[in-house]
Chain A
């Protein structure tokens, strides 16, 4: 997966609907249900059917950087927009990007491990775009990691979500994966379908790491 270097203005790249994105080649990533056997909750294992987990099975991924910041655009078909959480049984649509924090062999299907943390960028639908930088050391251990600022913009229209994440390339130890032109990192993706009650480990995800190469 190539992350091309572009001269485009950042406010255009931040806009999920900007025409510039049609010039950026994307890759359709297949997503699958998170394995129930991995869930860190006996209740979740016993109460779910794996066939009903992970409603969204495809996400289109486009990436670009301008030498200072990286922009990752995810888009997927979703006939029903789930934004408001006004009832206890309502959950928002959401998506995430995952990278091994230290470039090592962190397990993607277990959200890293105690020795090999992962860095997650998480967006969820809401009245305002809300994005968080997080670090996990295994399933159920995700914690917000301060300082690294993730920006996100989203648009829902014509039965699809388009979300752009933006972050400075330079990372921070323990908190944010370090990126740079010419470098390659491993990357994974996840989508939560709110109408299907998806939250936490109940989601669809790319089952293997992809290599993301940042153009020098």
Chain B
């Protein structure tokens, strides 16, 4: 199907299969062993895309502590996605669930002449925020554990949002599989928000339409990696085409099979993949290390990434043992990312070196 008919006048008559069709698929791999929870990706995205009125509570990129309720609160219990190929009912997350946008007394503190006695604080008594349970994690001392889970829209191969929209307002771009919401066609019905099992779609109250991560497509079109990836100081966000056999994405997902989609059982075939966290061993009752048990219960990782996590962890550990013994590992070299630009496949263009676009 031609791009013009997808985005132009004919889009309302396209079949869902046509709207899902893509020649190639861009993807990301997040190495959870490297995420330090600094929220730089979150702020990079916020600064670039969600500063307008109606977008105050939106965080297209989030990083949450796991185990934890996440953003929106308890999103994993909100349904959506597919069960045996049939759409599953989902809940509409509320602004409160997302943590809303707190309002602060900036005026009073900075400009009201009370700088010495007024403290900067949110108005009211917030009881939830986008990263509210950041410092909780799971387990009991001395076997407490946590890790960070960065999330963006999964730009799924079988998007529940696309399937749900009665107006064909959602489509995958033919050239790269990026899932977009057409602002011309969206009427703010919010079935997509119900249907997305990852709860990564937001409703803009000012414009009465749904909005979400766009994989920074205007940057991607210029060979620039998405802002969340390029700004990440941890070198953990790989970007590239899934079918590029020389690129790190293909190696991590298809060759070494150490990068897995989040909650594959939701049935949407996400295109964001995660290298699961390797954990130190547990302490036993007498305070000695028990090498037989990982600190992060494997059962919990299976809950997040499915049964293939066992194989992924085994491969990572085997490759680590190999290098410990003095050997070489293509997998670990890929994950280490000696050269920063190796993260980004064909998207290494420095945005500062681009000519400004003509109006």
Contacts and interface: CB of A to CB of B under 8 A. Distances in A.
Nearest to A48: B89
Given A44-B164, A46-B88, A89-B92, A114 B13 contact: yes
Contact of B86 (A40, A46, A141): A46
Interface in A95-152: 114, 137-142
Given A46-B88, A141-B12, A40 B163 contact: no
B198 interface: no
B143 to A, nearest CB: 38
B191 interface: yes
Given A85-B205, A200-B166, A200-B167, A47 B93 contact: no
Interface in A33-62: 39-47
A201 B95 contact: no
A88 B89 CA distance: 17
B94 A88 contact: yes
Given A42-B87, A46-B88, A88 B164 contact: no
Contacts of B187: 200
Q: Which of B12, B165, B168 has the largest number of chain A CB atoms within 10 A? A: B12
Q: Which of B88, B93, B164, B208 has the largest number of chain A CB atoms within 10 A? A: B164
A43 B92 contact: no
Nearest to B100: A87
Nearest to A143: B12
Interface in A146-192: none
A201 B166 contact: yes
A200 B202 CA distance: 18
Contacts of B194: 43, 47
Contacts, number: 72
A177 to B, nearest CB: 21
B203 interface: yes
Interface string A58-90: 000000000000000000000000000111110
Contact of A141 (B13, B92, B165, B193): B13
Given A43-B87, A47-B194, A200-B166, A88 B92 contact: yes
Contact of A47 (B12, B90, B94): B90
A12 interface: no
Nearest to A197: B92
A46 B89 contact: yes
Contacts of A47: 87-90, 194-195
A210 interface: no
Interface in B123-181: 160, 163-168
Contacts of A142: 167
A43 B190 contact: no
* Interface footprint category on B: 20 to 34
Contacts of A201: 166
Nearest to B86: A46
Contacts of A138: 12-13
B12 A43 contact: no
A141 B166 CA distance: 9
B93 A88 contact: yes
B189 interface: yes
Contact of B12 (A39, A140, A200): A140
A42 B163 contact: yes
A85 to B, nearest CB: 7
A54 to B, nearest CB: 16
Contact of B95 (A39, A42, A87, A199): A87
Contacts of B12: 137-138, 140-141
A43 B191 contact: yes
B163 A43 contact: yes
A158 to B, nearest CB: 29
Contacts of A199: 189-190
Q: Which of A45, A142, A200, A201 has the largest number of chain B CB atoms within 10 A? A: A200
Interface of A: 39-47, 85-89, 114, 137-142, 199-201
Given A42-B86, A140-B166, 19 more contacts: A39-B166, A43-B87, A43-B160, A43-B164, A44-B164, A44-B166, A46-B88, A46-B89, A47-B88, A47-B89, A47-B90, A47-B195, A87-B94, A87-B96, A88-B190, A89-B92, A137-B12, A140-B12, A200-B166
5 contacts: A40-B168, A41-B191, A86-B205, A87-B95, A89-B94
Enumerate the 5 nearest inter-chain pairs by beta-carbon distance, A residue then B residue, closest first.
A43-B164, A47-B89, A43-B87, A41-B166, A46-B87
